[in-house]
Amino acid sequence: MSRLTHIDDQGRARMVDVSEKPATVREAVASGFVRMSAETLALAISGSGRKGDVRVVAELAGVMAAKKTSDLIPLCHPLALSKVEVAVEPADEGLLVTARVKTTGPTGVEMEALTAASVACLTIYDMLKAAEKGMVIEAVRLLEKTGGKSGDWKAA
């Protein structure tokens, strides 16, 4: 097993020193899914929810969340993000969230993409909970990442 980069030799948590790493273009894509009834899905895609257009608000929340990742995840570096895209699309039995984040820097943006997808899913739940409390947020995961020392990776 490889050594955990956020744990020092004494077992203490630490922020990784990336000052010697070269700046490269890095991109990550993450997704999540909110499972719901057909009636709630119809309400979500109608754009006429009491709190506004569910998809638009969730996409904006995801963008905002990506920019705040280092405030939420203790050992993440604050990054200058060059691109954040969040898409919420209808799918069988719910809404699929996809977040794509890009930067040029010494560390990757996987956590920013995962945070964007997670918060977009939470926003969908918040906006639709009056219609259905039994919605399920599931399958939040990294789909792919490019750039950096470890190279490219794609989920199977």
Q: Burial, 34: exposed, middle or buried (Cβ in 10 Å; 0-12, 13-18, 19+)?
A: buried
Band of residue 8 on the pLDDT scale cut at 50, 70, 90: confident
The single residue of 9, 53, 71, 126 carrying the catalytic annotation is 126
Residue listed under structure tokens 């964007």: 116
Residue 83 lies in a domain: yes
Task: Determine the Cα angle at 26 with ends 24 and 28, to 5°.
Answer: 170
User: What's the total number of domains in the chain?
Assistant: 1
Task: Give tens-digit pLDDT for 116-128.
Answer: 999 999 999 999 9
76 occurs within a structural domain:
yes
Domain-located, residue 87 = yes
Q: What percent of the chain has pLDDT over 90?
A: 77
Q: Give the single-character DSSP code of 41.
A: H
Q: What confidence score (pLDDT) does residue 9 get? A: 79
Between CA 138 and CA 13 the distance in angstroms is 28
Name the band, by pLDDT with cuts 50, 70 and 90, for residue 2: low
Q: What is the pLDDT of residue 1?
A: 43
Residue 52 lies in a domain: yes
Q: Is 126 a catalytic residue?
A: yes
CATH of the domain at 82: 3.30.70.640
> Residue 93 is part of which domain span?
24-146
What's the mean pLDDT in 18-25? 86
Token pair, residue 32, equals: 């999540």
The Cα-based distances of 6 to 3, 10, 18, 82 in angstroms read: 9, 11, 12, 25
